[in-house]
Amino acid sequence: MAEKTRVVVVGALGRMGMETVKAIEQDEELELVAAVDIKAKGESISEITGIKGSSIIIHNDLETALEETKPQVLVDFTNPQAVFNNVRTALVRGVTSVVGTTGLNQVELNQLEKLALEHDVGVAVIPNFAIGAVLMMKFAQEAAKYFPDVEIIEIHHDKKMDAPSGTAIKTAELISQNRPQRPPRNVMEMEKITGCRGGNMDQIRIHSVRLPGFVAHQEVIFGGIGQSLTIRHDSYDRVGFMPGVLMVIKRMLNRKGLVYGMENLL
């Protein structure tokens, strides 16, 4: 029987972290060797997941967990303020990293890529682990050839800290790569309320909604003469992200450097 891949989850007490812990514990090819959360107070994995038989206690210090358990892969679902330092801490120890936390800027991505190559490991930064969301982005990229006029509406739960979402930014980047050059709109707009037209990224308006009751949702709306096209994806439960999370963990083991976006691993 092949040896299992040793994984640590950071942000284990968060909603995505907790689902990831459960998914890894139930996967035959992976072994959860540590869980980390800055809010941890000595809870056990069995207590928070209901999965019996795990003796793992949640650490509140990442460096200690890495030194004690020697994982091969780190999965980060923390927050935009912590993610860069967490991943840097893992990469310098030769630990491949899978990042589900959004908010990293281009300078930080470049630094993480450099570190990963220096230490001969990989780092995957994944704006969205839902297979359907990746397909939505690819369909939008294709549609942009024919419908250059487009806006994006992304809707998330009210606890999400960054806006716009990483998925919306990635979608806009893909659309920009594929749509023809466009002159600036020759329309004088007047915003009666500042910001009501959303953010502007490469002449693509992005609107962010934050409300309780939602998980992760996005519409890409294309407008053309006499017609429109809407491409939408909805995530109703975080368990829907788990097949993507597990797939990325396994496929990153033999990758070096930066992978940005799950479409590059499908």
Tokens 């998914």 — which residue? 23
Say if residue 228's pLDDT is above 80.
Answer: yes
Distance (Å, whole) CA 75 – CA 123: 10
Q: What pLDDT sits at residue 87?
A: 97
Most confident of 41-45, 144-148, 158-162: 144-148
Q: Rounded mean pLDDT of 236-248?
A: 95
> Which domains does the chain possess?
5-125+239-264 (3.40.50.720), 131-235 (3.30.360.10)
Record the pTM: 0.84
Q: How many CA atoms lie within 13 A of 192 on its CB side?
A: 0
Helix (H, G, I), strand (E, B) or coil at 133: helix
Active site residues: 156, 160
pLDDT (tens digit per residue) in 163-182: 999 999 999 999 999 998 87
Are 13 and 38 in contact, with CB atoms under 8 Å apart? Answer: no
In sign, the C-alpha dihedral spanning 110, 245, 46, 214 is positive
